[in-house]
Homo-oligomer: A and B are copies of this chain.
Amino acid sequence: MPKVTIQDVAREAGVALGTVSNALNHPDKVRPSTREAVERAMDKLGYTPNQSARLLAGGKNNVFGLVLPRLDHGFSLQIANGAHNEAQRNGFDIVIANAGNDDILESRYMRFFMGMQMAGVMAQPMAGPGWRPAGRRAAVPTVYLDIHSDAPGYFVAADNVAQGRLVAQHAIDSGAHRVAVVGRADFMQMSLRVEGVRDIAQHNPDVVFEFMDEGDWNLARDGYKIGHGLANRPRVERPDFVIALTDVLAIGVIAGLKSGRLSVPGDVRVAGCDGNPLAWTGSVPLTTVAPPGYEIGRKGVQNLIEQIELAKLAEFTHEPLAPLENHQVLVRPFLLARQSTGAEVRRAADPDLDLGSYL
């Protein structure tokens, strides 16, 4: 199939080249009858506009680029889905690049998207300690996801402190007297959650909070051990509420408690706090927070659109773009109360949050 160009379409439709271009980009500037003729010609010839030429000539692009570190990590998939939905709502498309945990590839994809004149670029960077956004102000709107930073630029991240606070408050509200907080706080995210819990604890001196931040407790099996241990305590020393710093840990704790003949939520209530949808399929539906990734993806797209509007405005008023400032957005978590803390069984209100149902 020799490639068909806009010229061929014009000839076929018996109109001028510019008219075809207009029919494509400014349909309102073309008489309906002409437009139809053009469309017929396009169909007949199987015309596909050359995006490269189009962008090069200064046409606008309604596609965002999203660079993710992996595609087999639930958090990143939440981001992708949240971004997808919000973009569609606003008339944008999204293409995704999988950096495969390789930071060389990550920056290659980012440059590719920028060079491709994408309307905007989002990335969830593999940010080691001391990470900084790429040097200069990018030519296209850019947002970094899952990142806390005080550098100039746009950053969206989950508010881990609020996550901890939310779950702790839920414990109080559900009438807990003795709360155990389990999980190793060796990552920033974990310690922030602990911080949130401590905050609530301070304001409720009548409730006993016990922080079990020891051992090597990241996996479900670690949770199991802890749960089993708790179950074997004398009743007065046994917590009636367990906050696990991750959902996976929470699942393990529930199994451990049950192995010790305790019931959840009857004897002990258990909550996670990082909204991992794949932990929702355990024997007892787990109370946790909404998957923050979804919201981060949404907010990221909103930030991109905001930057586009700002640039449009600056162009209109001929004012130079203000120097880039720091914009840090924290995603506010909300609670998903379920059976593990005594709530009624209920499905997530938004089916898009129900990632994992198809996996």
Contacts and interface: CB of A to CB of B under 8 A. Distances in A.
Interface of A: 1, 3, 46, 48-56, 63, 65, 70-74, 77, 80-81, 84-85, 88, 93-98, 100, 105, 108-109, 111-112, 114-117, 135-139, 278, 355-359
Nearest to A49: B115
Given A52-B55, A56-B56, A136-B1, A98 B84 contact: yes
Contacts of A73: 358-359
B115 A98 contact: no
A191 B43 CA distance: 38
Q: Is the interface of A mostly helix, strand, loop or mixed?
A: mixed
Given A51-B52, A93-B105, 17 more contacts: A1-B138, A48-B111, A48-B115, A50-B117, A52-B52, A52-B55, A53-B56, A72-B357, A74-B358, A80-B98, A88-B100, A93-B108, A93-B112, A94-B97, A94-B98, A95-B95, A278-B359
State the number of copies, please. Answer: 2
A93 B102 CA distance: 13
A117 B55 CA distance: 12
21 contacts: A1-B136, A3-B139, A48-B115, A51-B112, A51-B117, A52-B115, A52-B117, A63-B112, A71-B77, A71-B80, A71-B81, A72-B77, A73-B359, A81-B98, A93-B109, A94-B98, A95-B95, A95-B96, A95-B97, A96-B96, A278-B278
A25 to B, nearest CB: 14
Contacts of A88: 100, 105
Q: Which of A70, A72, A136 has the most CB of B within 10 A?
A: A72
Nearest to A135: B46
B84 A93 contact: no
Contacts of A80: 71, 98
A53 B51 CA distance: 10
Nearest to A276: B359
B108 A355 contact: no
A72 B79 CA distance: 11
Contacts of A114: 48
B139 A48 contact: yes
A73 B354 CA distance: 12
